[in-house]
Amino acid sequence: MTAPKRPAELGWTLLGTAVLAAVLAGAAGLAIVAGGETPRTSEAVAFAATICLAGGVGGWIIARWPTSNPASGVAKGLGAVTLRIFLPLVAMGWLQAGGGWLRKAGADRFVLIFYLALLATDILLHIIGDRELRRIRGKNSPD
């Protein structure tokens, strides 16, 4: 990868990270407000948000990491998807198997909602980011 490409990609990676965190913060705020008087809602939201933030932002950063060959790009993509899916799946499995008061407070629903919100945001960021980086580089094709 040549030097002029890196600042634009790093900037987009950081912007995407901030957007993902902002979407999650907004969703968490709405979940706490919607929870109202339900006991321990804020703890369930915090649990779900932590799981989804780690998976979503971690997957985004890995997916944006520059590679020098196609094999590394495929491995990077698979690693990003695995991280993005694995953490929420493990949390959902744990909540369904036991989970105690977190499950009763609705943490399983919050994990699902936050995961889907971050997934949709991630997809949109990838679509917008690829177009923006091509415009910056002066290319109209993905080559």
Concatenating the DSSP letter of every residue in 31-78 gives HHHHHTT-TTHHHHHHHHHHHHHHHHHHHHHHHHS--SSHHHHHHHHH
- 36 assigned to some structural domain: yes
Q: Report yes or no on 143 lying in a domain.
A: no
Give me 106's structure tokens: 């609705």
Average pLDDT of the segment spanning 22-46: 91
Q: Which domain holds residue 51?
A: 5-136
Q: Would the pLDDT of 1 be above 50? A: no
Count structural domains, the chain: 1
Residue 100 lies in a domain: yes
Q: Is 76 among the domain residues?
A: yes
Residue 48 resides in a domain: yes
Q: What's the pLDDT score for residue 16?
A: 92
Reported confidence tier of residue 2, pLDDT bands at 50, 70, 90: very low
Helix (H) or strand (E) holding 6: helix 5-35
Q: What is the pLDDT of residues 127-142, one digit of tens each?
A: 887 766 566 556 555 5
Residues in the chain: 143
User: For 47-60, how does the pLDDT look when each residue is reduced to its tens digit (9 = 90+)?
Assistant: 999 999 999 999 99
Residue with more model confidence, 28 or 99: 28
Q: Crossing angle for the helix pair 5-35 and 41-64, nearest 10 degrees?
A: 170
Q: Supply φ then ψ for residue 17, to 5 degrees.
A: -60, -45
**In a domain? residue 142:** no
Q: Which among 110, 9, 20 has a CA at the least distance from the CA of 56?
A: 20
In a domain, 141, yes or no: no
Instruction: Convert the pLDDT of each residue in 70-126 to its tens digit.
Output: 899 899 999 999 999 999 999 999 999 988 899 999 999 999 999 999 999 999 998
- Sequence-distant (6+) residues with CB within 8 A of 52 are 24, 87, 88, 111, 114, 115, 118
Q: Is residue 45 in some structural domain?
A: yes
pLDDT digit string, tens, across residues 37-47: 888 999 999 99
